[in-house]
Structure 1
Amino acid sequence: MENIGAIIARYRKKAQMSQIDLAARLQADGIEVHSKSVSAWETGRNEIPARVFLHVCRILQIPDCLEEYFGANPSNPLALLNDEGKKKVLSYIDLLIHPMSYVKEQKIALYTAATPERDKTKKLRLYDARVSAGIGDFLDSDYYTTIEVPENDARGADFAVTISGDSMEPVFQDHDMVYVHRQETLEDGEIGIFSLNNMAYIKKFKDTRSGTFLVSLNPSYLPIPIDPNRDSFRIFGKVCRTM
């Protein structure tokens, strides 16, 4: 099974496009993304959002992303054929379409019919750093992808990050994306995104007379104490929703 980053890199090189070129094409589609984010996808530092990946598949002409990832797509009969076989099938399809003998009636109407009004959406920055594994100054970098999410889901959110690891299970799973409201303080017991000694974390904030701690929801992990005199500590914001 080839990882998604390797698939993107292979097709990008096949199309003779640089990472800057691919980022520019995505920007032309209305997706705000830097070439550094393309590099982060290809090296596996960050996961590409599904919506953005679909745009990448179209730009790089990846015909079957399921086949590329899993090695086979049982739902696609073309997956059983080699490249020469696929060319013959496509040639036959072309033959059936152009005389219009086998094309469904009102084909154009089907594709141009008005679609229901889309739900309102909101644009958020999805930072490349994966919390619990990422670099603690990620909010000051331009390593991010701008994603479009349902406004109702992201109400109150200012940015999004992806979780790494199992320290916050069962509530937050590895690879979950969370929406975050940017704020510099948290109340005792609230879950937030933090930087501690240049590492990014998602934890429960515990502030008591005995000290300040970052607490995992998974009991296998011990609380992390914060020493205000020795540690470099910063609160990025409060987690307001997970996706």
Structure 2
Amino acid sequence: MDRNWTEHIPPEGSGADYAVTVEGDELEPYIKKGAVACIKRGAEIRDGDVGLFFADGRMVFRQYCEDWAGNVYLFCVNRKRPELDIRLPKSESAPVCSFGKVLLDTEVPLP
């Protein structure tokens, strides 16, 4: 999501606060490129949850994971694209800013 995106009104009853068009393939196979992702603002993000984050100077959809040492990993959900994974070492004290949890019908396994 390096570019601007289109914000949508979420479907009624979805529990989402807002929705945005997915511009890339980072959420496949769960959400296809060009589809709309529903997002719950302020939801607690736990290991394995998929969210919309600000990391490395850009907005990204990624799967959150924190290891025992406090390092944060933002995994690309599409495992055909591991080069899009982001590692935020605790030693760099880089804050992780979440804009909400992506609401999915199924649980995404951690890589």
Residue 191 of structure 1 and its aligned partner are, at CA, apart by 0.8
CA 145–207 in structure 1, closer or farther in 2 if over 3 Å, else same: closer
Greater percentage in helix: 1
Partners of 1:160 and 1:177 within 8 A in 2: yes
Q: Deviations over 1:100-134 (max 9, x none)?
A: xxxxxxxxxxxxxxxxxxxxxxxxxxxxxxxx223
Partners of 2:22 and 2:37 within 8 A in 1: yes
- Give me the identity figure in percent: 25
1:168 and 2:31 correspond? no
Aligned to 1:240, which of 83, 103, 110? 103
Aligned to 1:218, which of 78, 84, 97? 78
2:12: which partner in 1? 151
CA 167–175 in structure 1, closer or farther in 2 if over 3 Å, else same: same
- Runs of 4+ off more than 6 Å: none
Structure of greater relative contact order (alpha carbons < 8 Å, 6+ residues apart)? 2
Q: Alignment length, in residue pairs?
A: 101
* In structure 2, distance between residues paired with 1:184 and 1:150: 18
* In structure 2, distance between residues paired with 1:186 and 1:227: 18
Residue 179 of structure 1 and its aligned partner are, at CA, apart by 1.0
Residue 218 of structure 1 and its aligned partner are, at CA, apart by 1.7
Specify the structure having the higher radius of gyration (Cα). Answer: 1
Q: Which runs of 5+ in 2 are unaligned?
A: 106-111
Partners of 2:52 and 2:100 within 8 A in 1: yes
RMSD over aligned Cα atoms: 2.6
Residue 192 of structure 1 and its aligned partner are, at CA, apart by 0.7
1:231 and 2:94 correspond? yes
Query: Where do 1:1-243 residues align within 5 Å?
Result: 132-134=1-3, 147=9, 150-152=11-13, 154=14, 156-183=15-42, 185-210=44-69, 211-222=71-82, 223-228=85-90, 229=92, 231=94, 233-241=96-104
Which amino acid letter does the alignment assign opposite residue 46 of structure 2? E
* In structure 2, distance between residues paired with 1:146 and 1:217: 22
* In structure 2, distance between residues paired with 1:170 and 1:182: 23
